[in-house]
């Protein structure tokens, strides 16, 4: 990962490091990154440079800084945590029992380590493999570094993301037909790219051609909801996000089946046809569980239509691609695409500061607020006064003219410097749970928690994420690392 540079030269690639919960070294692994974080803090206190990517700085001097650590847990482990049962670790080569631990103790240590440094995250192995389209080939063991691409070992995934705000028309409504057309175009382009890309190893090359996994996704969901006057942490916001995600996912699979009708399904389809159609049907059934009272009728109808089509076309022709969607972080490309929010994230703050790799800081102000205020019925003079207040105070709390019922629409991931409001950590988890049934892969997302959040709350976040059917979850407690890329 140190050799592979993101964008060619400046940033080291990240790597995902996963240990299964039954591994004999699980407790050492859980603490490994938190122990290094303490060393980094001691070096910063001793005068070493505290920023990332500084040669000879504090974080350059400790281990694991370009690794994301995750523990892979099964339903069996999570049930043992819920019921306060024992957990048996096993020797890797023989499967023989090694050590008996209390499951809740292991979970507590995971939460305490994450409280200190954000790692380890958790991946829910049973859930991941229950939504697997190609289980007859092999199981899913791991993910990419950001945890959204989960598939067979030695495969690669072409990512592409759509800026959701580009589909909001003059009337303020989401253009369903335009969005479907864009999904079709991108899936076709990504499919063509599979055969025109080069791959790092022969195994990845072979599997990428045999299974052709794609990762269509989106950015700017946070602003789309804000623009509709829907708080991110609301049942209405979650239902709307679920419908948009279901539409993207359904159109992507329908297009994959159309391509398959011309050129044939992916190489590994035949042995996996039955389980794949089972998973497609699961997606389809979940589309009928979206709360349609919170979604415009035309959008909801399109979702139901596209899933019926995706299933029928696939049953007839198979699918050209084993997977079609993920929700990637879209960090740098989000800026290039004029997005105020990345991936599935809400805005981190209406005014935030981004540290730049080459040094320096960029102040980023959410550009969408004026339009939202106008749509909510505020006059020109009122909008100007509210914007002046945001510029001055770096928050919207307490702004003149702002009605109480509108404040939640502008809630962000972190509380502002002098404010109190932010999205509760369960708001992040519930949003992920709303869209997860409409993705081939998982979601790259940080569950943001305030500085004062406890380790117990982190443990609760992990347990609730499992209960709500997430494939993976990672938390970040504001300020738990002495250097972070985005801050208020």
Beta strands in 183-278 (DSSP E): 214-219
Contact call for residues 369 and 394 (beta carbons, < 8 A): no
Residues annotated as part of the active site: 144, 146, 148
Q: Residues 152, 20: contact at Cβ < 8 Å? A: no
| Structure-derived torsion over alpha carbons of residues 379, 381, 386, 391, reported in degrees to the nearest 10 | 140
């Amino acid at each position: 990962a140190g050799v592979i540079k993101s964008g060619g030269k400046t940033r080291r690639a990240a790597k995902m490091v996963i240990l299964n919960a039954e591994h004999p070294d699980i407790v050492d692994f859980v603490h490994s990154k938190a122990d290094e974080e303490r060393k980094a803090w001691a070096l910063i206190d001793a005068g070493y440079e505290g920023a990332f990517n500084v040669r000879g700085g504090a974080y350059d001097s400790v281990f694991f800084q370009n690794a994301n650590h995750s523990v892979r847990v099964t339903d069996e482990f999570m049930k043992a945590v819920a019921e306060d049962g024992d957990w048996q670790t096993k020797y890797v080569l023989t499967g023989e029992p090694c050590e008996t631990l209390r499951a809740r103790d292991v979970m507590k240590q995971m939460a305490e380590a994450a409280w200190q440094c954000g790692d380890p995250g958790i991946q829910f192995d049973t859930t991941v493999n229950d939504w697997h389209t190609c289980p007859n080939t092999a199981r899913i063991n791991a993910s990419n570094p950001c945890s959204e691409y989960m598939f067979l070992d030695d495969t690669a995934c072409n990512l592409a993301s759509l800026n959701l705000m580009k589909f909001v028309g003059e009337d303020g409504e989401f253009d369903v037909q335009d969005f479907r057309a864009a999904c079709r175009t991108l899936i076709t382009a990504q499919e063509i790219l599979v055969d025109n890309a080069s791959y790092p190893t022969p195994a990845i090359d072979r599997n990428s051609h045999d299974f052709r996994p794609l990762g269509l996704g989106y950015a700017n969901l946070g602003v789309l909801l804000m623009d509709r006057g829907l708080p991110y942490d609301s049942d209405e916001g979650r239902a709307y996000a679920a419908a948009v995600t279901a539409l993207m996912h359904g159109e992507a699979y329908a297009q994959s089946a159309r391509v398959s009708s011309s050129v044939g399904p992916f190489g590994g389809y035949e042995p996996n046809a039955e389980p794949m159609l089972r998973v497609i049907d699961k997606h389809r059934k979940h589309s009928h569980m979206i709360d349609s009272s919170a979604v415009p009728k035309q959008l909801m109808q399109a979702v139901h239509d596209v899933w019926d089509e995706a299933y029928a076309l696939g049953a007839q022709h198979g699918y050209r691609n084993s997977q079609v969607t993920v929700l990637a972080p879209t960090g740098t490309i989000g800026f290039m695409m004029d997005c105020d929010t990345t991936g599935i994230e809400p805005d981190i703050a209406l005014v935030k500061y981004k540290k730049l790799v080459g040094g320096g800081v960029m102040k980023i102000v959410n550009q969408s607020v004026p339009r939202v205020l106008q749509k909510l019925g505020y006059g020109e003079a009122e909008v100007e006064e509210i914007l002046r207040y945001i510029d001055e105070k770096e928050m919207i709390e307490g702004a003149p003219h702002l009605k109480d019922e509108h404040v939640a629409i502008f809630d962000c991931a972190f509380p502002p410097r002098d404010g109190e409001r932010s999205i509760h950590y369960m708001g992040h988890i519930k949003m992920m749970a709303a869209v997860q049934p409409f993705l081939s892969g998982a979601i790259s997302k940080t569950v943001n928690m305030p500085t004062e959040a406890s380790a117990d709350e982190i443990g609760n976040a992990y347990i609730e994420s499992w209960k709500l059917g997430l494939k993976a979850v990672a938390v970040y407690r504001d300020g738990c690392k002495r250097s972070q890329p985005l801050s208020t």
